[in-house]
Amino acid sequence: MPCTVTVGGFWGDEGKGKILSYLAVKDQVKWGVRGGVGPNAGHTVIYKGRTLKLRMLPSAVVNPNTQLGIGAGVLVNPRLLLSEVEMTGCHGRLLLDRQCAIIEDRHVEADKASAHLSGKIGTTGTGTGPCNVERVQRTVKIAEEHSELKAYLGDVAGEVNEALDRGEKVLVEGTQGTFLSLYHGTYPYVTSKDVTASSICADVGIGPTRVDEVLVVFKAYVTRVGGGFLPGELPPSEAEKRGWSETATVTGRTRRVAPFNVELAKRSVKLNGATQIALTKMDALYPECRGAKKLDQVPLEGRRFLQKIEDLLGVPVTLVGTGPDLEDVIDLRKGRI
């Protein structure tokens, strides 16, 4: 820090919500700011016995002292956003950029009715694609035109840059994963914009020289939903046998599964300019380390796995997820001791 950008390394579903919420609490960040596409991706956060499934708010919402921002590049579903504000009680600390594009009911209807996308690409049906089309055409409504959002409107880019000027900690949250990028992903099975670190910064309004750390989150194995390329894909029965079966936060679809892929990870590190790696679901590979908070609680084989990832990718693994709760993390940012 003070400015850390966090993005997904594969196709999303890497456990970014857990890592982001951990950082928000552990580092007592001043601002947690969301970039990314819109409500077509979700983060799951488990803290103090409560499970939050978030599609609009930043995962940093778990820290009551953190100011929350949603950058101008994010598509906003007002009904969904307001319901999450109500659920979390963050009314007084949310700032929504006045230039966010608004997803309307007609966008959702168009998304669901699109035979081409629904049949081939596997759209989430949340209206993000049609809304982004209108954004490019400059015909979409923006947040300052929506009366229900008036109390939350402001200049997110201005506020966040001023916070950085004061030396305050800012956590920038990406959504989805690198290989869902419209430009760098497995086209056409991708989302409707770029979601790599540089684009997430642009969504928020932070220039590249303001970023101190780029944290790429990988899972200990690879998952994706919908169609498209997935090297080394395992049959569902094998995924179940290994304890890797999962369902997506937003769609509820079963995730396709493959072992950790070093070549994809190398590509992701380059595309994002990674300076740190977070590896989640370590306990799925090595159940005996579930809930571990120290490296010596991980079996030797697991520690060798972490070292191999560091050696092959050339980037330090600084955070290791060992369970679903926010606090189930081995924090190696200050070294291996």
Q: Tell me the catalytic residues.
A: 13, 43
Pairing of strands 50-54, 43-47: antiparallel
For tokens 């969904």, the residue is 80
Peptide bond into 2 cis (omega under 30): yes
- Rounded CA-CA distance 113/125 in Å is 9
The phi, psi pair for 42, rounded to 5°, reads -130, 155
> What does the alpha-carbon distance between residue 215 and residue 115 come to, in Å, rounded to a whole number?
37
Sign of CA dihedral 140, 145, 151, 153: positive
Among 118, 154, 137, 86, residue whose Cα is nearest residue 227: 118
Residue among 307, 306, 289 at smallest CA distance from 298: 289
Q: Which of 215, 196, 287, 206 is nearest to 15 (CA)?
A: 215
